[in-house]
Amino acid sequence: MSRISRRAFLRSSGTAATIGLLAGCTGGGGGTETATQTATKTATPTEQMTTTSGGATTTTAGGGSSEPIVIGALEPISGPFAPWSTVHRDGLMFAVSQINDNGGVLGGRDLKVEVADTGADPSKADSAFRRLVEQNNAVATTGSVSSDVGLRVAQTAADLKVPHFLQMAGSDQIITKSTQYMFRVGLLPAVKYIQAQASAFADAGYTKIGAVVADYAWGHSCADAIKKGFSQDVQIVVAPVPPSTDFTPYVRKLSPDIEMLIASGHPPGTPGIANAAIDLGYSPDVITGSSAPPQLLFSALKDAVIPKFVHIHNSDPYEQAFTDVGGAFDKSGQHNTEFNTHTAYGYVTGQLIAAGIEKAGSADPTAIANAVRANKVDTLFANPVQYNQYGELDQTIVFFSRLKKEAPPFDSSGQYWYEKLHQSDPIPARVP
């Protein structure tokens, strides 16, 4: 497809040129909440596993055999990553309530979610992790969004020997060859995430590409990946994370005739960067954002930005399983949020932890981590969720979507949905 045709496609609302567009893409503060819920697509543990966990033990943790098994949620309820926290927490708690309603795990034990507000602060996340494990007997944790938090939590997980499931936190450095307790869910590592974009637009003919990345671990990982993944000489500008919200000075540093703007390296600043570009008279064909919650994007992006904006996500909203879960979530009346691509990450995490516990036959954290590495869980992703030995997602399909202001198929009162532009081929796991 020619570059002009691609521009015409990006500026239109039609879908006739979908295949050609991206052809070849490979790749509360400290409060506690309790939920009682099973994943619709969870089936049975034996149906989910493709290999055995090997080192699983029968040790029981998290209290007596009738006590709930605790999952700790380290959510950035306050701070610049707050929009990520609510939907992830709600998805996790809904999965747990379904699981409990269907008999729990290990022959009848309930799961219990306890939430701590980290404020996206690494020290607070470390303290919350330790408290949830040492005082509340959490056997697994989740919720990291900031890569700075992910880096710190990786050390904590290793110290405590308790698995942690990253909501986002895509810095390559979080998972190393010695990692045993870290697992990605909602975001591929920066090198794979950026490579997917580079491959998607490899034949676009763009010669002027700009990027604004954040001055923290994820932004720097993205900058490195952009330099390696794009054959073009991409102009990269580094901007601070909020509370600074005026990105005009940083966007002004970019060439005025950029054809593609990469805002993927600055999650909390993505809407501000995209809006500033349009306000300054920039007219890129496409703006690739970070993996941000749709409710944030729809509330913050200007109308002129939305047709150009590409939402990138691991969850698959185009299959019936997503519609079924989304409909059940809506009918439950338990949450004020709309089920979306990011609510799905919390939901999937709940399934992964429950499947790991069942496979391990135990609530022992090390046994759970071993089982998760060996599992293949069919859930709200296009491919079953599976990991390599380090905890990197393997054979994940990434979706490129356009945002649409219309109700989803499962909720007539909903406000947003997606138009699939392309899905990548299965992306092999990163090897540290």
My answer on whether 64 and 106 are in the same domain is yes
Amino acid 43: pLDDT? 34
In a domain, 279, yes or no: yes
Whether the per-residue pLDDT at 269 is higher than 80: the answer is: yes
What's the first-to-final CA gap in the chain, in angstroms?
36
Contacts of 303 (CB under 8 A, 6+ apart): none
My answer on whether 231 and 107 are in the same domain is no
In a domain, 325, yes or no: no
In a domain, 183, yes or no: yes
CA–CA dist 40, 20 (Å, integer): 34
Q: 324 in helix, strand or coil?
A: helix
My answer on whether 303 and 367 are in the same domain is no
User: What would the pLDDT profile of 22-75 be if each residue is shown by its tens digit?
Assistant: 333 333 333 333 333 333 333 333 333 333 233 333 334 444 568 999 999 999
pLDDT band at 120 (very low <50, low <70, confident <90, very high): very high
Q: Kindly state the average pLDDT of the residues 231-247.
A: 91
Q: Kindly state the average pLDDT of the residues 223-252.
A: 93
My answer on whether 208 and 97 are in the same domain is no
My answer on whether 150 and 76 are in the same domain is yes
Amino acid 335: pLDDT? 85
Amino acid 243: pLDDT? 73
Whether the per-residue pLDDT at 4 is higher than 60: the answer is: no
My answer on whether 134 and 55 are in the same domain is yes
My answer on whether 14 and 133 are in the same domain is no
DSSP label at 257? Answer: T
Q: What's the domain range around 81?
A: 45-187+342-394
In a domain, 251, yes or no: yes
In a domain, 35, yes or no: no
Any idea what the CATH number is for the domain that residue 99 is in?
3.40.50.2300
- Percent of the chain residues topping a pLDDT of 70: 85
The DSSP string of 359-396 is HHTS--HHHHHHHHHHBEE-SSBSS-EEB-TTS-B-SB
Q: 81 in helix, strand or coil?
A: coil
Q: 189 in helix, strand or coil?
A: coil
- Percent of the chain residues topping a pLDDT of 90: 78
Per mean pLDDT, which range of 12-21, 167-176, 351-360, 415-424 is the poorest?
12-21
In a domain, 329, yes or no: no
Mean predicted lDDT score pLDDT of the chain: 86
My answer on whether 50 and 180 are in the same domain is yes
My answer on whether 64 and 172 are in the same domain is yes
In a domain, 135, yes or no: yes
In this prediction the pTM is: 0.86
Strand partners, 418: 403
My answer on whether 100 and 121 are in the same domain is yes
Whether the per-residue pLDDT at 328 is higher than 60: the answer is: yes
My answer on whether 240 and 253 are in the same domain is yes
Q: Kindly state the average pLDDT of the residues 122-140.
A: 98
Q: Kindly state the average pLDDT of the residues 217-244.
A: 93
